[in-house]
Amino acid sequence: MTRRFDTNARDFADTFAAFLNEPRGNDDALTSVVADIIADVRKEGGAAVARYSAEFDRLTLDPMLLTSDNVDLHRLAAACPDDLKAAIDFAHDRIAAYAQKQIPEDKSWTDEAGVELGWRWTAVESVGVYVPGGRASYPSSVLMNTVPAKIAGVSRIVMVAPAPGGELAPAVAYAAIRTGVDEYYPIGGAQAVAALAYGAGRLKPVDKIVGPGNAYVAEAKRQVFGKVGIDTIAGPSEILVVADKTANPEWVAADLLSQAEHDPSSQSILIALDETIADQVSEAVEKQLGTLETGKRARTSWEAHGAIILASSTAEAADLSDQIAPEHVELCVADPDAMVPHLNHAGAVFLGHHTPEALGDYVTGSNHVLPTSRAARFSSGLGVYDFLKRMSVQRVGEGSFGALGDAAKRLGVAEGLPAHVNAIAIRAGVDGDDTDAKDG
């Protein structure tokens, strides 16, 4: 039985805070294991990647090419059913249309001092896209990570996706070809992240790594950050559903389980504005768990990490949601638009009874790579912006130099940086020695 909280309970604040701080799937032992794998790849390159692929994925790779005769992207893509290809095409076009709207504009202006200022956007040159394998195939992950990169203008996209025993889902292969992946290597785990960051065999290093993976992948991304950019350290999936008496309890239960089935460490939370809907959803969850093929995994998630919270108002529900800062928020209430202005921390918000999170995973067009583990407090979902860099641009003319130089000199003196002062004074025809700047 999953836990219940009532905001009117005297100890609610303390028990709710303890609930939010419970760990989900973290393992400190991973740190040293991943560090060893990364060190091996840096030292041995493709030989280490091939060795780990044989050990973990039962796949023999050419250490230089990092390819396998058993994994051919075009051959696999040909086996993808036509109706699934059509669905992938449909999702691709919607994601591309959404991403196209995100492209920012360059900006320039001249201020009151006559200084020209502005910025321009340029694309990251090369990106590595990690696509999970193992429990399930995720063509949607290929689309969500690759399409925005293409729209942004990334010139080289490298996909890695483990192919255990030489198996890769045809849908993943088709999605890779549909999105224009430039290189594909059938590797996964921490060794794949290390290869993307440092290079291995013919795989040259990339500038940024994006895409979700298991705990080893997340830890590897954490450890290579700085050498390369990363999108986020992804944790287990999360959903929060706010429901009032207008909600359909069967629908709400289905939505909660749509995230619980991802992983035993996933988290599904219901904030109920009516005790009757809380009871009905709880009963519906139990009934649906008995019919799902993923029921065992979903039940573990629901009972270990799920919760039902009774709240007295939509304002209170919005406040609780912000404290949770979840990956997904569904507003299954009579007036979802009234709640939106009160939400500040969420990866993605789904409005109304006919907007299940599952649509967002695939075809609304919005990206499904979202902040987890309360990271929505300070970060956003993946988008075109993640594949762009902003460069500031400025020009100071002879006339406007005088308006800036004196203040800049004084700041250089205050910071004890005489070369800074001199770089300004020399242009003004003033000896920098009279500024009394001292070496720091």
- Cα separations in angstroms, 337 against 330, 331, 341: 12, 9, 8
Distance CA 318, CA 196 (A): 40
Q: Is residue 411 part of a domain?
A: yes
Do 126 and 148 share a structural domain?
A: yes
Distance CA 250, CA 194 (A): 44
Do 254 and 333 share a structural domain?
A: yes
Q: Is residue 257 part of a domain?
A: yes
Do 359 and 404 share a structural domain?
A: no
In order along its 440 residues, the chain shows pLDDT tens digits of 899 999 999 999 999 999 999 988 666 789 999 999 999 999 999 999 999 999 999 999 999 999 998 899 999 999 999 999 999 999 999 999 999 999 999 999 999 999 999 999 999 999 999 998 754 589 999 999 999 999 999 999 999 999 999 899 999 999 999 999 999 999 999 999 999 999 999 999 999 999 988 889 999 999 999 999 999 988 899 999 999 999 999 999 999 999 999 999 999 999 999 999 999 999 999 999 999 999 999 999 999 999 999 999 999 999 999 999 999 999 999 999 999 999 999 999 999 999 999 999 999 999 999 999 999 999 999 999 999 999 999 999 999 999 999 999 999 999 999 999 999 999 987 544 444 444 44
328 is catalytic: yes
Do 292 and 267 share a structural domain?
A: yes
Which among 262, 328, 345, 353 is annotated as catalytic?
328
> 190: part of which helix (H) or strand (E)?
helix 189-198
CB 191 within 8 A of CB 130: no
Residues 6+ apart with CB under 8 A from 328: 238, 239, 240, 259, 346, 347, 348, 350, 357, 360, 370
pLDDT digits (tens, 9 = 90+) for 194-253: 999 999 999 999 999 999 888 899 999 999 999 999 999 888 999 999 999 999 999 999
Distance CA 255, CA 326 (A): 14
Domain span at residue 315 reads 3-25+236-364
Do 189 and 55 share a structural domain?
A: yes
Q: Is residue 372 part of a domain?
A: no
Which among 238, 261, 327, 357 is annotated as catalytic?
327
Do 157 and 297 share a structural domain?
A: no
Q: Is residue 377 part of a domain?
A: no
**C-beta atoms surrounding 66 within 10 Å:** 24
Residues 6+ apart with CB under 8 A from 202: 46, 64, 65, 66
Q: Is residue 36 part of a domain?
A: yes
Please name the amino acid found at residue 88.
Answer: I
pLDDT digits (tens, 9 = 90+) for 359-396: 999 999 999 999 999 999 999 999 999 999 999 999 99
Q: Is residue 371 part of a domain?
A: no
Asked which of 233, 257, 275 is the last residue of a domain, the reply is: 233
Q: How many domains does the chain have?
A: 3
pTM confidence score? 0.92
- Kindly report the CATH number assigned to the domain that includes residue 290: 3.40.50.1980
* Structure token pair of residue 283: 């009963």
Asked which of 178, 201, 233 is the last residue of a domain, the reply is: 233
- The three-state secondary structure class of 65 is coil
In the numeric block, the tokens 């069967």 are attached to 250
